[in-house]
Structure 1
Amino acid sequence: MILVRAIIRPERTGIVLSELLSAGFPAVTKMDVYGRGKQKGIVIGDIQYDEIPKEMLLIVVNDEDKDDVVKIIMRNARTGEKGNFGDGRIFISEVMDAYTISTAKQGL
């Protein structure tokens, strides 16, 4: 199993979630997060903004679905034709195991 962790612009969350659902990936955890990327925040005049609002999506999928999920997120989270700074990042991690609490069932 694979954990896909995507940090994206809040205004792109709806379309990303809709496309994931349409492609058969309904199980997503969404969290409001704040931070900065390689651009070190945003400077407007004399003010520096270090805590830029983003959304983090957590999706656990079978190994063979990883590339499809990443492509869906990339295609729908990107702003503009070639993308822009601040569009976000995707991190991939292995999941050792998963359990459904209500049924004690192992796996996805």
Structure 2
Amino acid sequence: MKAIELIINGDKLDRVMQLLSTFSKSGIFVAQGFGYGHQHGFKQVYTRDDDRGVKILPKVSVRTVVEDALAEQVVDTLVAELGSASFGDGKIFITDVIDAVRVRTGEHGDEAL
């Protein structure tokens, strides 16, 4: 199993949910937060002598777990659909999941998804 986490702008959330619903039977988890990537936030200058500004941007974290066989296809689809070749498109992190347990039934592994 692979855990897939996306860090994206909130305006892409609906599209990500549509894409992931075609692959993931385990559902998704969404959390809001703040951060920055290569663009290091952006600055809004309020006066000539003021260089303070926003250093972190609102972001959305979307997590899901998929079977190993689907992970590459999920990531390729997300990159193809969400990429605009601009700063702020987001990041995708893929990690191995050792096990999953469905609390209600005690099922392990792929059956727990």
TM-score of Structure 1 vs Structure 2, range by shorter chain? 0.7 to 0.9
TM-score (norm 1): 0.86
Could you say what secondary structure the match of 2:4 adopts? strand
Q: Whose strand fraction is larger, Structure 1's or Structure 2's?
A: 1
Q: Show the 5 A alignment for 1:66-105.
A: 66-79=71-84, 83-105=85-107
Indicate the RMSD between aligned Cα atoms, in angstroms: 1.5
Q: Please say if residues 23 and 70 of structure 2, whose CA atoms lie closer than 8 Å, have aligned partners that are also in contact.
A: no
Structure 1 runs not aligned, ≥5 long: none
- In structure 1, C-alpha distance between the alignment counterparts of 2:83 and 2:8, rounded to whole Å: 9
Give me the identity figure in percent. Answer: 29
Give the count of matched residue pairs.
104
Query: Is 1:31 paired with 2:31?
Result: yes
From the CA coordinates, give the structure whose radius of gyration is larger.
2
Q: Deviations over 1:19-57 (max 9, x none)?
A: 221x23241111112111122111122332122111111
Q: Please say if residues 9 and 77 of structure 1, whose CA atoms lie closer than 8 Å, have aligned partners that are also in contact.
A: no
TM-score (norm 2): 0.83
Structure 2 runs not aligned, ≥5 long: 46-50
